[in-house]
Structure 1
Amino acid sequence: MFSQLQKALYGLKQAPRAWFQRLGSFLIQLGFYCNRSDTSLFIFHKHSNIIYLLLYVDEIIIIGNNSSLLATFTWKLNSEFATKDLGLLSYFLSLESTTTSDGLFISQLKYARDILTHAQLLDSKLVHTPMVILQTLSVDGLLFSNPTLNRSLIGALQYLTITRPDIAHAVDSVSQFLHSPTEDHYLAVKCILHYVKATLHFGLIFIPFFAPGTLVAYSDADWASCPDTRCSTSDYSIYLGGNLVSWSAKKQPTVSRSSCESQYRALALTVAKLLWLTHLLSDLKVLILQRPLLLCDNKSAIFLSSNPVSHKRAKHVELDYHFLRELVLAGKLCTQYMPSHL
């Protein structure tokens, strides 16, 4: 009876919230504050001493610039909660961390192998691109006999994109047909898996920079690429001090009437992420002296972002996308043209 009660308590929906409030109140008493941009991040800042604590359920990462202060805080944490110190960061939520001569290397080697084992493709042939060039997927075609397998593989690949931005666009393409996958969709998923097999050791490397960092974002979009809905796809990648820190490939929710509009919507999506990163870096006490730079290969979209006159091709665009223009006019953001062929 006691074991059943324990199971029921841990199965309650409010249990994670109660645990977070319990730990959060303890950290606040020690001088931490909860980050506004990411509520799972707690920050301690006093004089020149900094401690970051990142929490995911019962997994905790602690980092700081004062070893004695870290040791004191770890002792207090162990005294309050039944925790176990696993030493230097090496594995966290399927992310593998390795210190190199250049910096920090983050990968998901074991997780990628597990996906290939689940798909029975661990000994498959190798391909060098995650998608067939100029391939366009559609809802038409012969239905795949095992949609559950297709969905599980795509879900696993979505988590793999945490350290593999090179497959983000391909995974986004196949994710749009989860409700009714066809044979062509499954072949596209297998193509991604063959590419993962060929690039198992790929990941992200973060190189330390000692001068004030700069945020540089690259934004792009196609126009009416989806043959079923005629919606466009937005892509962006954001670099901090030369390190790739954020990326996305996402289908736009509405149809754009011109390539300028699709690019403008992609710029607005990128700026929203840039603002979030700016607030996060400010709380992390990372100094950013220059305005974030936003690069795009569409001159019309850049002109629209800095021109206060309502362009006739953009009168129908939702008002919330025009906050990009307000930031440019306020001098908080800089947009610049960059040819896509460079």
Structure 2
Amino acid sequence: MEQPPGFVDPSFPNHVCKLNKALYGLKQAPRAWFQRLSSFLISYGFTCSRADPSLFVFHQGDSIMYLLVYVDDLILTGNTSTLLTAFISRLHKEFAIKGLGKLSYFLVLEVVHNPTGLFLTQTKYANDILTRAGLVDAKPVSTPLSTNDTFVSDGQPFSDPTLYRPIVGALQYLTITCPDLSYAVNQACQFLHAPTEQNYQLVKRILRYVKGTISHGLVFQRPRFTSILGYSDADWARCIETRRSTYGYSIFLGGNLVSWSAKKQPTVSRSSCESEYRAMANTAAEIVWITHLLTELHALPPTRPTLLCDNRSALFMSQNPVSHKRAKHIDLDYHFVWELVMSGKLHTRFIPTKLQPADIFTKSLPRPQFEHFRDLLRVRPPPFRLQGDNR
């Protein structure tokens, strides 16, 4: 550590300070802390996940422990209470830590335990966003965007972009437990550099939807079956300014939503088949990552993952080794998905559009469709009643 300005020793101006302890605020502090913690965990018997470097897995016989690290916040779980107690005791001796008991709040995620599983929500965080925007008393709406709402770059520039950007950034983090916001927030994020008055009015509509669903969150239930099911969808040439397609996917493990995305494709697709196939390739890549993670967690389902798509042409390309000149330019994605299917690591199937939950990530939908797909994603109100409520 260099001598700070104003405190340089005139006798030894080229000497450096010896850093005995990493402190908050130093650039090297997080790296030094993680190295110290990971060295201890590995010496105890944990292995660092290759799929997620912040995850450590302990496996000994039938006993398993998972430890997730976020800077100096740790989540620990396992299937043997005696093993957990012994490890926590050792952890207390090694580090000055504080145990907070059963997981209830982590990085503004609120975790509610119930007899059938878990309920994840961000009610307090959503309320803070509404307070910042001055919309705590706003009138709720039933969908984030109407079917006619479109974000555009033309129009009167918004007078205070520094208000637009932090609100949209905060909404991005809210999608962790509210995937139904993903499409609308993705559209808003594309105009952070130069928002217009119309764009801000649409963001206010998103906030009014948040107001009406402020207690909603993700429901996780104990699965009756364990399998990986992915849904892939794309809306061809959705962007009216660039004609790039918007794609989305949702991946379920045992019926519980574990991964989702809503993005604009980086290049223009020449057909709906191409945009759908590129969406399938991105979904397949995410499924492969999830299978690697579950393998390290010793929880990989015995059945191969299934990817469902509502475009028969894209499905045909994934299942048949027939390449033609119209598919030459998507050669890389073509071989990636096709090889997964041919090797038996992935199964692709057709699904009707009306049963396609990933449709909610590609476009604005009418209220009945939106609420139907939102329910399929298991985004719901709290699955419990207040005491004394006999309704």
The TM-score normalised by the length of structure 2 is 0.84
2:187 is the counterpart of 1:180: no
Could you list the runs of 5+ residues in structure 2 that have no partner in the other structure? 8-16, 356-391
Tell me if the contact between 2:278 and 2:333 (Cα under 8 Å) persists in the aligned partners. Answer: no
Q: Does 1:314 align with 2:324?
A: no
Tell me by how many angstroms 1:16 deviates. Answer: 0.8
Is 1:78 the counterpart of 2:111? The answer is no
Residue matched to 1:333: 346
**Contact residue 234 and residue 248 of structure 2 kept, 8 A:** yes
The 8 Å contact of residues 141 and 209 in structure 2, kept in 1 or not, is answered as: yes
SS of 2:285 mapped into structure 1? helix
Residues 291, 300 of structure 2: 8 Å contact kept: no
Is the CA contact 1:138–1:226 (under 8 Å) kept in the aligned structure 2? no
Q: Please give the residue correspondences for 1:261-280 in structure 2 after superposition, counting only pairs within 5 Å.
A: 261-280=274-293
Aligned equivalent of 1:40: 54
What amino acid is the match of 1:112? A
1:12 aligned partner, one-letter code: L
Q: In structure 2, how many angstroms separate the alpha carbons of the residues matched to 1:43 and 1:217?
A: 26
Question: Which of 208, 228, 238 does residue 215 from structure 1 map onto?
Answer: 228
**CA offset digits 1:166-205 (Å, max 9, x no partner):** 0001100111111100011111111110000000111011
**Aligned partners of 1:217 and 1:293 also within 8 Å:** yes
CA distance in 2 between counterparts of 1:308 and 1:242 reads: 32
Give SS of 1:192's match: helix
Aligned pairs for 1:135-284 within 5 A: 135-209=149-223, 211=225, 213-284=226-297
Q: What is the CA distance between 1:208 and its match in structure 2?
A: 1.1
Note the alpha carbon deviations across 1:247-277, whole angstroms, 9 max, x for none.
Answer: 1001100000000000001001101110010
**Structure 1: distance between partners of 2:66 and 2:253:** 19
Q: Percent identity?
A: 60
Partner of 2:318: 305
Q: Which secondary structure does the structure 1 equivalent of 2:353 belong to?
A: coil
Partner of residue 127 from structure 1, selected from 128, 138, 141: 141
**1:108 and 2:151 equivalent?**
no
Between 113-122 and 100-109, the greater mean CA deviation after superposition: 100-109
Number of aligned residues: 340
Shift of 1:318: 5.1
Quote the residue 1:288 is aligned against: 301
Give the equivalent residue in structure 1 for 2:369: none
Highest Rg: 1 or 2? 2
- CA distance, structure 1, for counterparts of residue 352 and residue 181 of structure 2: 23
Aligned residue for 1:316, secondary structure, equals helix
In structure 1, distance between residues paired with 2:179 and 2:81 = 34
Offset at residue 8 of structure 1 (A): 9.2
Counterpart for residue 63 of structure 1: 77
Give the drift of 1:11.
Answer: 2.5
**1:278 & 1:154 partners in 2: Cα distance?**
32
Query: Using CA pairs below 8 Å that are at least 6 residues apart, which structure has the higher relative contact order?
Result: 2
Q: Is the 8 A contact 2:244 2:266 kept in 1?
A: yes
One-letter amino acid of the structure 2 residue matched with residue 243 of structure 1: N
1:304·1:311 contact (CA, 8 Å) conserved in 2?
A: no
Give me the CA root mean square deviation: 1.8
| 1:87-136 C-alpha deviation (Å, 9 max, x unpaired) | 11000000000111321001001000000000010110010000111423
SS of aligned partner of 1:169: helix
Distance 1:135-1:312 versus aligned 2 partners, 3 A rule: farther
**Residue ranges of structure 1 left out of the alignment (5+ in a row):** none
Of stretches 151-160 and 308-317 in structure 1, the one that deviates more from structure 2 is: 308-317
Structure 1: 4+ residue segments shifted above 6 A: 4-8
